[in-house]
Amino acid sequence: MKNFKKNIRKLSKEELQDFFLSNRISSYKGTQVYKWLWEKGVVDFDEMTNLSLSQRSLLKKEFIINHALINNKKLSNDGTSKYSVKLYDGLIIESVLIPTTRRVTACISSQVGCSLDCIFCATSILKRMRNLNSDEIYDQILLMNHESLISYKRPISNIVFMGMGEPLMNYNNLIKSIEKISSDKGLNISQKRIVVSTSGIPKMIKKLADENLKVNLALSLHSAIEETRNKIMPFSTKFSLKDIKDSLNYWYSKTKRKITFEYIVWKGINDNTKDIDSLVSYCKSIPSKVNIIEYNSIGDEDFKSANDTIIEEYKRALEKNKITVTVRRSRGKDIDAACGQLANK
């Protein structure tokens, strides 16, 4: 029978220490290996230079380091970079770097494909092939940080889980990766600079609220009218807007951090007065702010951006009711790197 080696990054620091002790080696070597894996991000045992040759040989005999690598890169005219990232089993995900004068944001994937079926999103066409392990999520961020230092001469400052997949459908790996990202034994990126974006799974939103993390939460809303939302996001028939509202109010009660609603306005879908009034009413029931984001076409003729007049009407109505609203223009559209366009093209 074939003897499969274990992925060493699945071991905790304590398990690594126990491994060395079981081989009559100081447990401190386990601490050193943990630092190599998570603080320095090495993917080759031979780079662990404070281990003896025999200790490195022992690790090679028992373990492998499954890791991701950059398969391809595309550069947008606006400076945005999209990366095709190859996983250890050959599957591909996409990550994006978005630079501004003040920050570099890494847009990170949580699944290969997506568990959900939003019909305006290219990623949903892929369907979910599998969840990413926590070390694969961490790998993306390591790779993006390295690329940011090369391309923009500065490290990433912000992380948004807005790439491929529904983060809350890969909950355990999401939490593990956030803990490692923000740990001083990892990348030491403040949780306040991390945004988890969800399409709205009430049970998991409440669970996230109970984690006592300091991450921010964004929700892809797109309509505050049940019937309309169910048409464009069919999975949402299982999760009513009332249940989502209750979970978001629970989030705020636990974290005291406002929710950001992501909202696209389409011609003939959610571009009338009823849609505007419904959004205002929904926002008033939850401590929140709104990002009106540009629609990025995936070739479906049923979805076309509403005209600027309607966008302005939304903005005026929200501001009139003292709801913070920002109209955001897409980055990376020319390389299919914008919101809703990630589909391994």
94 annotated active-site: yes
Q: Give the tokens for residue 41.
A: 């991000």
Cα distance between residue 342 and residue 160, in whole Å: 14
Tokens of 287: 């401590």
Q: Map tokens 């090679």 to a residue.
A: 60
Q: Which of 107, 114, 121, 339 is catalytic?
A: 339
Q: CB within 8 A of 24, min separation 6: which ones?
A: none
CB 259 within 8 A of CB 288: yes
CB 121, CB 114: distance < 8 Å: yes
Q: Identify whether 121 is a catalytic site residue.
A: no
Query: In angstroms, how far apart are the furthest CA atoms of the chain?
Result: 73
Cα(253)–Cα(260) distance, integer angstroms: 15
Angle between helices 171-182 and 202-209 (to 10 degrees): 30
Using CA atoms, how far apart are residues 292 and 224, in angstroms rounded to an integer? 14
φ, ψ of residue 168 in degrees (nearest 5): -75, -10
Residue with tokens 């990126």: 189
For residue 127, the SS3 value is coil
Q: Whose structure tokens read 């950059």?
A: 70
Catalytic position from the list 47, 94, 114, 312: 94
Cα–Cα dist 160/104, whole Å: 11
Specify the pairing of strand 111-112 against strand 104-107: unpaired
CA 218/CA 309 separation, integer angstroms: 25
User: What phi-psi label fits residue 208: left (phi over 0), alpha (psi between -120 and 50 degrees) or beta?
Assistant: alpha
The helix (H) or strand (E) run that includes residue 183 is: none
Q: Which residues are catalytic?
A: 94, 339
